[in-house]
Each structure stands twice: as structure tokens, then as C-alpha cells.
């Protein structure tokens, strides 16, 4: 294929970011429409990537390879497998909804400090993040991946610190301090992970003599690459640490509740539904692909960490007073399921983990964006400040309920399929881990239904008695996400057809086969 489709899919939002930032300050509405049109055009290109991809074909397709830094063996090398295609589609799908949901989030506002928020900068930063995330899913050169893995931290830092949530119970000055703290914490945690990964990337080049995934795989297959067990384990830990911070996995998770709590709802969705997926994706592509023996060596410890994330995140979600922090801790629990599925080393577990990345992105986007609409009306993130909303805004309450039910993986909605596959795949090889993980399902039902009960049911509080229902723009954001949750809940086959061949390749990398059921011979 002569047209560089993968490059175009990432370059379009990057160029759109520059163009949006260049829009004059007086033309705020034009900047918004430009960002929306660019995000929709990127979605069209992502759809073309999915259409051109052949699930039964080569492992990496639509490949591009060009010399870049010859002296260091770095190439501009792109390619997608089924997992990458699914996550590029998720990213391109969510960005238009994020732009629409944040339509007024960066409008200038007079405050006590006369603080001004540049509207065009807000949307330009969102498009910049989209470009870097898509390139991370496409890169098959390890050094190229590392560059964009780290570069996306810069626009995210400004989105959290410069365009944080205006709803804060302690006033603008305290809110500004909290936003700055959350942004710096996000940056420091992820930079620490990135620096450790950089050392591992350099070590990988010293050992393998290449940054190319395909060249390293070929060298391993023909026996020309022999990596000592100790070396492989250290390199694996360097990569895994960075991905566990990004994921986020307990105990490296503490930046997420701060970042999601202080960011606007659309930016919170960008964090947990888009950016964090790079961490779990990279575990599949790089940890298992480059270091198969070390991955198997570390599996027992990683499964315990994932299990702690599931239960710990769900328990803390139960006790939250803040709506957005509740969703953040619920996401930590869900990422525990994703990591558990990846390292269960079964095809069901890894297929379920990949589906979980997609389905969690859609369900969290639906729940968090509706929560954002709710918070913008009341001006408070505290659960105790709501009550009886379903009587005055029934459509808002209904969409909030569906998003919550998807979060607890109700059968018939998309996350159920992925969570079921993860648990089945884990139970097949690690039954004790699989059984304990089901506690997370019970706790998810508790924190979701209690949240709905306290905010939407009961007597109508005076502060919400005049609350308007969802407007047309807000319905345009929420309705497609709800429809997708239902569609993928009853018909996940389009996704599984794309994902399963890539999972088979990953299972082959780690030389694992699914455990066979034990059946007693008939007497």
C-alpha cells in the first residue's frame, strides 16, 4: 500500500493541533469547530485502518519503515496488529465525544483572580494527545514508541494543571493549588517510570543490537539472539515498571485519583479511557513480546498486584464522597482485571483483557461524561450535595444509570463479556486468583448502586430542583456511547474477530497453550 495510512492517522490530529492553536483568540468558536472536524476526520482514517486490516493476515500490517537516526539504529517503523487496530479505533472514537463534552470547559471566565483560559489551547492539547497515543499504538520500533510514550505527558500536564475542574467546594484559590499538585504528581510519577524504561530501552539495544520488534523476533526465532535470564528479567522490570505506572497498577496508582478528580470530566476521560490504555497495551506488545521468559517468571507477583488493585480500588470506591474520585478508584479496580487477564497467560484472558480495554474506555466515558454534565449543573463534586435528580432530569439520571450498570459489568452490556473472559481465562490456570477476583464484582455493584441511590433517588434537594435535563449537544455525546455499550454487549464478534489472531501471536511469543480441562475417564 503506497499511501502511508498509519502516518496519516496520527499526523492529521497533530496538524490539527497546530492549526487549532493558531486560531485567533477572538475566534474561540472556530477553534472548537476545527478541533471537532479534525477529530471526525481522524475517526474516518481510523475506520479505514480497521477496514484495510486483515485479521487472518500477517501479524503487523499496513507497515511503514524509514531510516531515521542511522547511527543509533533508530527507524521510523509503524505497523498494527489486531490489538493496535482496536485501540486506535477506541481512541479515534472517543476524541470527538471528548471535544463535544468539553465545548464550554475552557471558555473565558471571570474569577477573583481574573484567570483566563485560552480556549484554542485546550482543544489543541486534546488533539496533540490523540496524535501521540495513536503513534504509540502504531510504533514497532521500541525507541520510537518510547518517544511518544513520554511526549504525551507534556500536553496532559497542561490539561490537568491549566484546565482543571471549576467545581470545588473550597474556592478558586484552593482549587488552583489542588490542580497544580495533581498535575505535578501525574508528571513526576510518569517521568520516573519513563526514566527507568529509558535505561531498559538502551539495555535492550546493547543486548539485541536493534530497536525493531520484528528484527528482534526474527533473531530470537533463528537463535541468533541469546539473552541471559538475569539480563532479560532486569530489562523486563524496567519496561513493566513504566507501564504499571501508566496503567495504573497498585501500588503505583496514587496519581490517578488526584488527576481525575482535579481535571475536567472530558480530560478525566482522556486520562483513563485513552492515555492509560497505552500502559496495558504495551504490556502485551513489549513485555510479553520482548521478554517471554521473564514475563512467565514475574507472573505470580504481577497477578497478586492485579488482585490487590481489583479489591483495593473497589473498596476505596465504596467509601468515596467525591463522584469523580469514585470513578477513578473504580478504574483502578478495572485495570487490575485487565492486567490479570494479560498475565493469566491464556487466550481467553488476553482476549478478555483487550476487549476490557475497549469496553472500559466506552463505559467509563459514558459514566464520567454524564457525571461531568451533572457536576456542571450543581457546581459540586460531592455525592452528599445531590438527591432526587431523577425526578427533575430523568434522561440524565437514566443515562447515568446505564453507564453505572456498564461499570459493574451487567450482563447485556459490553464490559460483561470482557470481564467474564478475563475471569474464565484466569480461573483456567490460577483458580484461587480467579475466585478471589470475583469480590471485585460484588464491590462494583455496591459502589455503583449506592452512588446512584444517593444522587438520583430520594427527596428532591432544593439545590437540584431547577436542574435542566440533558441538552441536544449532551445527548449527542452520551447516546452513541450507550448504543455502543448495548451493541457490543450482545454482539462482540466484530471485535473478537480482530483481536483473537493477535492474541494467538502473543501466546506463541510466550510459548503458552491454554490448559486443557481435566475429564475423568469413564469407568
Question: Any residues with CB less than 8 A from the CB of 255 and at least 6 apart, and which?
Answer: 182, 185, 186, 189, 190, 245, 248
The pLDDT assigned to 111 comes to: 41
* CA end-to-end distance (rounded Å), the chain: 60
Q: 522 pLDDT band (50/70/90 cuts)?
A: low
More confidently predicted of 217 and 42:
42
Spatial distance between the Cα atoms of 265 and 477, rounded to a whole number of angstroms? 13
HEC secondary structure over 477-520: HHHHHHHHHHHHHHCCHHHHHHHHHHHHHHHHHCCCCCCCCCCC
| Domain assignment present for 496 | yes
| Domain assignment present for 190 | yes
Residues in the chain: 523
Average pLDDT, the chain: 87
Q: 24 pLDDT band (50/70/90 cuts)?
A: confident
The pLDDT assigned to 165 comes to: 66
Average pLDDT over residues 220-229: 78
Residue span of the structural domain in which 110 resides = 5-306+324-331+350-370+473-509
| Domain assignment present for 408 | no
Spatial distance between the Cα atoms of 370 and 397, rounded to a whole number of angstroms? 9
Q: 3 pLDDT band (50/70/90 cuts)?
A: confident
In Å, how far from its chain's centre is CA 158? Answer: 19
| Domain assignment present for 279 | yes
Residue 287 C-alpha cell reads as 513485555
Residue 58: pLDDT over 90: no
Q: 315 pLDDT band (50/70/90 cuts)?
A: very high
For the stretch 126-148, pLDDT in tens is: 999 999 999 999 999 999 999 99
* Burial (CB count within 10 angstroms: exposed 0-12, middle 13-18, buried 19+), residue 404: buried
Residue 23: pLDDT over 60: yes
Cis peptide before 251 (omega within 30 of 0): yes
The pLDDT assigned to 171 comes to: 53
| Domain assignment present for 493 | yes
How many structural domains does the chain have? 1
The pLDDT assigned to 110 comes to: 45
Instruction: Specify whether the CB–CB gap between 413 and 405 falls below 8 A.
Output: yes
Average pLDDT over residues 344-355: 91
The pLDDT assigned to 283 comes to: 92
| Domain assignment present for 445 | no
Residue 318: pLDDT over 80: yes
| Domain assignment present for 441 | no
Spatial distance between the Cα atoms of 184 and 447, rounded to a whole number of angstroms? 29
| Domain assignment present for 172 | yes
For the stretch 84-113, pLDDT in tens is: 999 999 999 999 999 999 888 777 664 444
More confidently predicted of 223 and 153:
153
Spatial distance between the Cα atoms of 106 and 94, rounded to a whole number of angstroms? 19
Average pLDDT over residues 323-348: 92
Spatial distance between the Cα atoms of 465 and 461, rounded to a whole number of angstroms? 6
More confidently predicted of 171 and 415:
415
Amino acid at each position: 500500500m503506497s499511501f502511508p495510512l498509519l502516518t496519516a492517522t496520527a499526523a492529521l490530529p497533530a496538524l490539527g493541533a497546530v492549526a487549532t492553536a493558531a486560531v485567533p483568540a477572538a475566534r474561540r468558536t472556530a477553534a472548537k469547530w476545527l478541533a471537532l472536524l479534525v477529530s471526525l476526520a481522524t475517526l474516518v482514517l481510523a475506520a479505514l485502518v480497521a477496514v484495510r486490516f486483515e485479521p487472518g493476515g500477517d501479524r503487523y500490517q499496513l507497515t511503514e519503515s524509514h531510516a531515521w537516526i542511522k547511527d543509533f539504529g533508530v527507524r521510523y517503523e509503524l505497523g498494527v496488529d489486531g490489538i493496535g487496530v482496536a485501540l486506535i479505533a477506541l481512541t479515534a472514537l472517543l476524541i470527538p465525544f471528548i471535544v463535544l463534552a468539553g465545548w464550554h470547559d475552557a471558555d473565558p471566565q471571570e474569577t477573583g483572580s481574573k484567570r483566563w483560559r485560552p480556549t484554542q489551547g485546550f482543544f489543541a492539547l486534546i488533539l496533540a494527545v490523540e496524535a501521540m497515543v495513536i503513534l504509540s499504538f502504531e510504533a514497532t520500533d521500541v525507541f520510537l514508541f518510547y518517544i511518544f510514550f513520554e511526549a504525551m505527558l507534556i500536553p496532559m500536564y497542561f490539561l490537568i494543571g491549566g484546565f482543571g475542574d471549576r467545581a470545588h467546594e473550597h474556592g478558586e484559590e484552593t482549587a488552583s493549588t489542588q490542580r497544580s499538585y495533581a498535575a505535578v504528581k501525574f508528571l513526576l510519577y510518569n517521568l520516573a517510570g519513563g526514566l527507568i524504561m529509558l535505561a531498559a530501552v538502551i539495555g535492550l539495544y546493547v543486548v539485541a543490537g536493534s530497536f525493531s520488534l520484528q528484527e528482534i523476533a526474527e533473531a530470537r526465532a533463528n537463535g541468533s539472539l541469546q539473552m541471559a535470564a538475569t539480563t532479560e528479567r532486569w530489562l523486563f522490570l524496567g519496561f513493566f515498571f513504566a507501564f504499571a505506572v501508566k496503567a495504573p497498577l497498585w501500588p503505583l496508582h496514587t496519581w490517578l485519583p488526584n488527576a481525575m478528580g482535579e481535571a475536567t470530566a472530558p480530560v478525566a476521560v482522556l486520562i483513563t479511557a485513552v492515555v492509560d490504555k497505552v500502559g496495558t497495551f504495551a504490556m502485551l506488545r513489549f513485555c510479553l513480546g520482548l521478554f517471554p521468559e521473564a514475563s512467565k517468571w514475574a507472573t505470580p507477583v504481577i497477578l497478586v498486584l492485579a488482585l490487590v488493585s481489583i479489591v483495593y480500588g473497589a473498596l476505596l470506591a465504596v467509601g468515596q464522597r467525591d463522584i469523580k474520585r469514585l470513578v477513578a478508584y473504580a478504574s483502578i479496580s478495572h485495570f487490575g482485571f485487565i492486567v490479570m487477564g494479560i498475565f493469566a497467560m491464556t487466550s481467553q484472558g488476553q482476549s478478555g483483557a483487550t476487549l476490557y480495554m475497549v469496553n472500559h474506555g466506552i463505559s467509563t466515558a459514558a459514566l464520567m461524561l454524564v457525571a461531568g454534565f451533572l457536576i456542571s449543573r450543581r457546581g459540586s463534586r460531592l455525592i452528599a450535595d445531590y438527591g432526587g435528580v431523577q425526578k427533575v432530569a430523568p434522561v440524565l439520571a437514566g443515562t447515568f444509570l446505564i453507564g453505572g450498570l456498564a461499570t459493574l459489568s451487567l450482563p447485556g452490556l459490553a464490559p460483561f463479556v470482557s470481564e467474564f473472559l478475563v475471569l474464565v481465562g484466569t480461573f483456567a490456570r490460577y483458580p484461587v486468583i480467579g475466585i478471589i477476583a470475583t469480590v471485585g464484582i460484588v464491590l462494583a455493584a455496591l459502589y455503583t448502586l449506592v452512588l446512584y441511590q444517593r444522587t438520583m433517588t430520594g427527596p428532591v434537594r432544593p439545590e437540584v430542583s431547577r436542574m435542566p435535563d440533558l441538552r441536544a449537544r449532551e445527548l449527542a455525546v452520551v447516546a452513541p456511547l450507550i448504543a455502543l455499550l448495548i451493541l457490543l454487549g450482545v454482539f462482540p464478534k466484530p471485535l473478537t474477530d480482530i483481536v483473537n489472531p493477535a492474541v494467538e501471536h502473543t501466546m506463541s511469543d510466550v510459548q503458552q497453550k491454554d490448559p486443557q480441562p481435566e475429564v475423568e475417564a469413564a469407568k
